[in-house]
Amino acid sequence: MICEICPRRCALTDGATGFCHARKNEGGRNISLNYGKLVSIALDPIEKKPLAKFHPGSRILSVGTFGCNMDCPFCQNYSISAASEEEVTTNYVSPFELARSAWELRDRGNIGVAFTYNEPMIGYEYVRDTSAKTRKMGMKNVVVTNGCVLPDILEHVLPWVDAFNIDLKSFSEKTYKKLGGDLHTVRDFIIAAEKRAHVEITTLIVPGMNDTEEEMAALSDWIAGINRSMPLHITRFFPKRNMLDRMPTNVCLLESLYDIAKKKLDNVFMGNV
C-alpha cells in the first residue's frame, strides 16, 4: 500500500509503519496510530503558537501526540516528533472529551484547541473529528503544522480550522529535500489554507541553512504575492537535537532579515530574541 498522506508516499507492506511512526498498513487500510493518544497538553498563550494576529491576549488548550513526517536536525520537540508509540507515554482523550475540556477552560481565557508540538496533520482524522466538536461548542481550532501533506488531506480539516501557523522552513527545494519535505507541497498548502482560514508563517533562521538575504527576499516576496498582510515570524535558532555544534542565530543578522521582509510584508515579527 502506498500511503497518500504526504509526499514521502511510504510503501507499506501489511503491518508496516511509515516513516512518521503514526500511519500503519493494517489489512490494506491506512490507519492512524496516534489517534487521540496525547503526549503533551497545556493551556498556552496564543502568542506561543506563534499567532500574533489571531485573538491576541487569549489562551488556547494545546495538545500533541507523537510522530512527524519530516526529519529536521534542529527540531525542538524531537523527543515526541521523532518518537514511536513505544517510546512515549500517551493518554487517550476522545474528540468529545478534548472539546469538553476546552469548553470548561473558557473562564481561564481559553478560546479553543490547538493541535501542535508534533506534526498534527499526519493524524488528520483526530484534528478533523475534534475540531468539528469544538466548533459546535462555539470555540476556535488552530493547527500548527509543517504544511507538508497532500491537498486531499488538508481538505479534510479546512472546514473546521480557524487558524494555521505554518512552518516554512526554507525557500529552497534542495534544503527541503534534506529535511525530508517538499517545498512545492508546502507552498500549495499555504495558498489553499489562506483562502479559508487565518494563516501565519514561521521561519526559523538556522545558521548556514536559510540565513541569506537573497533567500529571505525571495520568501517574503512570495508571501506578499499571496497576501502582504500575512504575518511572518522570523525566529532565532538555538542549538538543538543534531545541531548542537551551531551557534545561535546572530541577532544583528536576524534584524537585517527582518528589515528585508518588512519591505514586502506588513506584519513581520522576530521571535526568540
Give the Cα separation of 144 and 126 in Å (integer).
14
Give the number of other Cβ atoms within 10 Å of residue 252's Cβ.
Answer: 8
pLDDT at 195: 97
As a whole number of angstroms, the distance between CA 258 and CA 217 comes to 10
* Domains located in the chain, CATH noted: 23-271 (3.20.20.70)
**Cβ neighbours of residue 84 under 8 Å, at least 6 residues apart?**
17, 21, 66, 67
Calculate the alpha carbon distances from 38 to 66, 80, 93, 117 in Å.
8, 10, 7, 10
Single out the residue of 237, 238, 228, 239 nearest to residue 261, CA to CA. 228
pLDDT given at position 6: 98
What pLDDT is stored for residue 179 in this prediction?
A: 98
pLDDT for 237 equals 97
pLDDT at 25: 98
Q: Where are the alpha helices (DSSP H) in the chain?
A: 78-81, 95-104, 124-136, 151-157, 173-178, 183-194, 213-227, 251-262
Q: Which cell is 146 given?
A: 509543517
Q: What is the pLDDT of residues 193-221, one digit of tens each?
A: 999 999 999 999 999 999 999 999 999 99
Residue pLDDT, tens place only, 228-237: 999 999 999 9
Task: Render each residue's pLDDT in the chain as its tens digit; 273 residues.
Answer: 999 999 999 999 999 999 999 999 999 999 999 999 999 999 999 999 999 999 999 999 999 999 999 999 999 999 999 999 999 999 999 999 999 999 999 999 999 999 999 999 999 999 999 999 999 999 999 999 999 999 999 999 999 999 999 999 999 999 999 999 999 999 999 999 999 999 999 999 999 999 999 999 999 999 999 999 999 999 999 999 999 999 999 999 999 999 999 999 999 999 998
Q: What is the pLDDT of residue 203?
A: 98
- Residue 93 confidence (pLDDT): 98
Label the pairing between strands 37-38 and 163-167.
unpaired
- CA angle (43 as vertex; 37, 45 as ends), nearest 5: 130
pLDDT at residue 158, as a whole number: 98
